[in-house]
Amino acid sequence: MPSSSNKCPFSLSTVSGVSSHVELLLVAAATAAVTYLLTKRREDERRRKIAFQTYQKEKEAKSEVAAKRKAAKLPPSGTVLEGLSIDRVYVWKIEDLKKRYESADVINIMRNKPRPPAAIRSPILRSASSVNEDDDDDKAKSFDARSSLSVQGRHQHYCKLITDDQVILEEIVRKPSMPHHCVGFMRAGPREMLHFDPRNVSAAIVTCGGLCPGLNNVIREITKTLHQIYGISGTVYGIQGGYRGFYDPSPHLHPIVLTPELVEDIHHEGGTVLGSSRGGFDLDKILKFLKDKNVCQLYVIGGDGTHRGAFIIHEGCMERGMNVSVAGIPKTIDNDVNYIDHSFGFASAVEAAQVAIRSAKTEAVCNLPNGIGIVKLMGRSAGFIAAHATMASSDVDLCLVPEVKIVLEGEKGCLPHIMRRVRQQGYAVIVCAEGGTCKKLNTTAKSG
């Protein structure tokens, strides 16, 4: 008989029973967990479907209400803001030549005039202007003769014409404290009737003042639009060297005859192919050129000084009874023209500024200890280039613009801020607009 010391408190059958019971409990727990997860997932999916269906019904109901209110010419649905309204819009109209001179009243349609293949594909005007003009004329006449049949029936009406009662509001963002009247500007775009007959139109283009990215694009598009869209029979003159190009006898300032073939690739070139300069304004000589060349459309591309000259030309034309349209195209790389979102060339300037900022950061990081990189950007009266370049780069620690006073010392001073940045990261990058370095400097600040 075995001794009591060798007896086991649990038999094999008992251990097997406990193990089976534990396994059943685990299986039951896993089944319950899976069931709960599946049930929760189905419930969440059902709730999402109900929420989406409710959203769709509400959207359809809003659309139906909006359509009914629009059909009944009722005010749109929504929350009414008390004290915020516009009951009068005063339109700032431009000079209308139709009121002073007899108008051709030609229906405005897109003529889609085909362009003959270019004899020379050089983007440089001077080399292109040295081509044998007789050969070019013969080729152009031959092309016109071959394509005369295809031109018929290619006229196309504009999808949308602009009327004189369509305006752009001067101040789009409104507040209840603002007056209930507003100033509006006439929209640009194709009108139903043309004042000038394209068969009698000759035009001139001049660029004045400083350079700006996009000048060649403007010259190209004006030339191609006049020739190909409006199908003018006259000449487009490119005035070289700014205002003095209207009368200067120098060989390098003679006006250039611009054609679609000549300007085809100039938008890939920098600067302006016509050249630019400041000054040289002589009203009598400019008006004499316009009269001698029978120019009825003058396109002036420039800044504030250039447009003051353009207005004087307009006044001179009115005084002498000349039926000439003077169109000003604002050119400013600083984007400091009111009532427009972006002037041409601004985006290119901000993009080019990124290279300078990255170079300044490299210099600051690598010059030990405590390197500081400073980049001065264009912006005599407005710091848009500096501000936009700063936001785009994310590498600038301090940006100085003319619109904000420069405080050197104190809690909000520039010098303590730069000191903190240098201590934190070992370097600093500063961007300043040219008008922000000395203008509006806080006179109470110490020179340091």
- Per-residue pLDDT reduced to its tens digit, 198-229: 999 999 999 999 888 899 999 999 999 999 99
Q: Is the pLDDT of residue 16 over 70?
A: no
Q: Tell me the C-alpha to C-alpha distance, in Å, between residue 17 and each of 12, 20, 24.
A: 9, 5, 11
Burial 317-351 (b: 16+ CB within 10 A, else e): beeeebebbbebbbbbbbbbbeeeeebbbbeebbe
Overall average pLDDT of the 384-411 stretch: 91
Residue 87 and residue 180 in contact, taking contact as beta carbons nearer than 8 Å: yes
For 38-50, what is the mean pLDDT? 91
| Displacement of CA 47 from its chain's centroid (Å) | 45
Amino acid at 40: K
Residue from 404, 358, 359, 360 nearest 379 by CA: 404
Residue whose tokens read 């089944």: 31
**53-82: per-residue pLDDT in tens?**
998 998 888 888 888 888 888 887 778 888
**C-beta of residue 413 within 8 angstroms of C-beta of residue 447:** no
- The count of other CB atoms within 10 Å of the CB of residue 399 is 21
Q: Helices marked H in 152-207 — which ranges?
A: none
Establish whether 334 is a catalytic residue: yes
Residues 6+ positions from 244 with CB-CB distance below 8 Å: 253, 277, 279, 280, 282
* Most trustworthy range by pLDDT among 32-41, 333-342, 354-363: 354-363
Q: Which two tokens stand for residue 202?
A: 């000759």
How far is 381 from 401, CA to CA, in rounded Å? 9
Model confidence over 235-284: pLDDT tens digits? Answer: 999 999 999 999 999 888 999 999 999 999 899 988 899 999 998 999 99
* pLDDT, position 210: 86
Which helix (H) or strand (E) segment holds residue 372: the answer is strand 371-377
Q: Do domains 97-330 and 346-433 have the same CATH topology?
A: yes
Q: Which of 136, 248, 334, 336 is catalytic?
A: 334
Higher per-residue pLDDT: 229 or 140: 229
User: Which are the contacts of 242, defined by CB distance < 8 A and separation ≥ 6?
Assistant: 206, 207, 208, 209, 275, 276, 277, 278, 279, 280
For residue 323, pLDDT over 50 is answered with yes
Cis peptide before 369 (omega within 30 of 0): yes
Q: In terms of pLDDT, which residue wins out, 367 or 447?
A: 367
Q: Report whether pLDDT(36) > 80.
A: yes
Question: What CATH homologous superfamily does 346-433 map to?
Answer: Phosphofructokinase domain (3.40.50.460)
Domain ranges within the chain, ordered by starting residue: 97-330, 346-433
Query: Half-sphere exposure of 357 toward its Cβ, with a 13 Å CA cutoff?
Result: 27
What's the CATH code, domain 97-330? 3.40.50.450
**Rounded-to-integer distance, Cα 177 and Cα 223, Å:** 47
What's the average model confidence in pLDDT over 403-423? Answer: 90
Q: Which residue has the higher pLDDT, 408 or 133?
A: 408
What does the DSSP 8-state code read for residue 225?
Answer: I
For 414-438, the pLDDT digits (tens) are: 999 999 999 999 999 999 998 865 4
